[in-house]
Amino acid sequence: MTEAQRIDGKAFADSLRGRLTQEVAALKRDHGLTPGLAVILVGEDPASQIYVRNKGLQTEACGMLSVTHRLSATTPQAELVALVEALNADATIHGILVQLPLPDSFDSDAVIAAIDPAKDVDGLHVVNAGLLATNQPALTPCTPLGSMLLLKDALGDLTGLHAVVIGRSNLVGKPIAQLLLQANCTVTMAHSRTRDLAALCRQADILVAAVGRPEMVRGDWIKPGATVIDVGINRVPARDPALAAEGKTRVVGDVAFDEAVKVAGQITPVPGGVGPMTIACLLQNTVTAAKRIAKI
Ligand code: NDP
């Protein structure tokens, strides 16, 4: 039996960053414009610290300006909002990202609402969500954008395909569904209240899993030959019981890869699939925002 083709998100992200590096060099040379990204990290969450460090390193590696603001978890909300407003007014900054999740004491919606929509490179402001929903040029959330780039590269024209998206978050599920709709797919959105999810998934030409439940989607949920995009990032105990006993972990997706790879036509692995695309698309959104602000 032939196995599904692996969709190599790492290679795609590497080449996207290469193209962006060239574009940034051209913007500097021809327009004196250096795109700038400001990331705000509140609190000490270890995973967020790693993401923020990687974002900063990759932004600089592309030739862009990278600024990171680290605030303590006890910072008053008004101070965080004042920082966002100062960055809105800063002409050297074209993209503002507030690393989520914020500590519980913060009102995330209010903080996101304070970001200038033109600089909202995470695409989470209601203005950008509305633009996306009405097919107008928006800053689109990075993971959905990255998933779509991989899908279009793998399949070309998506017209008429039935896409099932499991998950309806504002960050992932909903914007992916909007993008699939824009690409002329017939889209079904599933969530925790969906009945007979497995049977629904078996109808999908494209199956997107954005759930946050390790290996929930089994091989027999997948239509033979379907394209599977696994957005999930879940940390589970290491396979080796001795290592697991030492607290060692591994990362798995929302899809049982070993089963799915025997049924699907194409599939994103975890790690190495959608994950690497997220930061690459953040850099792309920052370049897009800088060009729109500078009217280039
Ligand atoms: P959320 O927790 O915000 O949303 C999860 C969604 O899954 C909800 O809509 C929920 O339904 C649905 N769901 C939960 N349980 C089930 C179930 N048993 N059956 C069907 N649907 C279910 O998560 P996110 O959207 O933020 O993230 C989803 C996954 O993607 C996570 O693993 C996360 O780590 C990963 N992720 C990966 C990124 C990357 O860079 N690759 C970036 C962002 C996220 P309901 O609405 O009914 O509760």
For residue range 241-269, list pLDDT tens digits in order: 999 999 999 999 999 999 999 999 999 99
- pLDDT in the model for residue 85: 98
- pLDDT in the model for residue 94: 98
For the chain, domain boundaries = 32-116, 142-277
- pLDDT in the model for residue 140: 98
Q: Which of 143, 165, 172 to mutate to test the pocket of ligand 1 (most atoms within 8 A of CB)?
A: 172
End-to-end alpha carbon distance in the chain: 51
Q: Which of 211, 230, 282 to mutate to test the pocket of ligand 1 (most atoms within 8 A of CB)?
A: 211
Own/partner long-range contacts of 70-74 (Cβ < 8 Å, ≥24 apart): 70/41, 71/40, 71/41, 71/42, 71/43, 72/42, 72/43, 73/42, 73/43, 73/44, 73/103, 73/105
DSSP sequence for 32-93: ----EEEEEEES--HHHHHHHHHHHHHHHHTT-EEEEEEE-TT--HHHHHHHHHHHHT-TT-
Q: Whose CA is nearest to atom 40 of ligand 1?
A: 275
As given in the structure block, the two tokens for residue 107 are 């009102």
Q: One digit per residue, pLDDT tens: the chain, 296 residues?
A: 689 999 999 999 999 999 999 999 999 999 999 999 999 999 999 889 999 999 999 999 999 999 999 999 999 999 999 999 999 999 999 999 999 999 999 999 999 999 999 999 999 999 999 999 999 999 999 999 999 999 999 999 999 999 999 999 999 999 999 999 999 999 999 999 999 999 999 999 999 999 999 999 999 999 999 999 999 999 999 999 999 999 999 999 999 999 999 999 999 999 999 999 999 999 999 999 999 999 99
Read off the amino acid at residue 143.
Answer: T
- pLDDT in the model for residue 62: 98
Q: What is the pTM (predicted TM-score) of this model?
A: 0.96
Ligand 1 centroid from CA 168, angstroms: 7
Active site residue 8: no
Q: Across 205-265, where does the E strand assignment appear?
A: 206-209, 227-230, 234-237, 249-252
Name the one residue in this structure whose structure tokens are 């490179």.
Answer: 121
Answer yes or no: is the C-beta of 203 below 6 A from any ligand 1 atom. Answer: no
- pLDDT in the model for residue 127: 98
Q: Report the distance separating Cα 194 and Cα 111, nearest Å.
A: 32
Assigned superfamily of 32-116: Leucine Dehydrogenase, chain A, domain 1 (3.40.50.10860)
Q: Whose CA is nearest to atom 35 of ligand 1?
A: 232
Q: What is the CATH number of domain 142-277?
A: 3.40.50.720
Q: For the segment 43-54, what is each residue's pLDDT rounded down to a tens digit?
A: 999 889 999 999
Q: Report the distance separating Cα 92 and Cα 271, nearest Å.
A: 34
Q: Report the distance separating Cα 122 and Cα 37, nearest Å.
A: 11
Answer yes or no: is the C-beta of 195 below 6 A from any ligand 1 atom. Answer: no
Active site residue 248: no
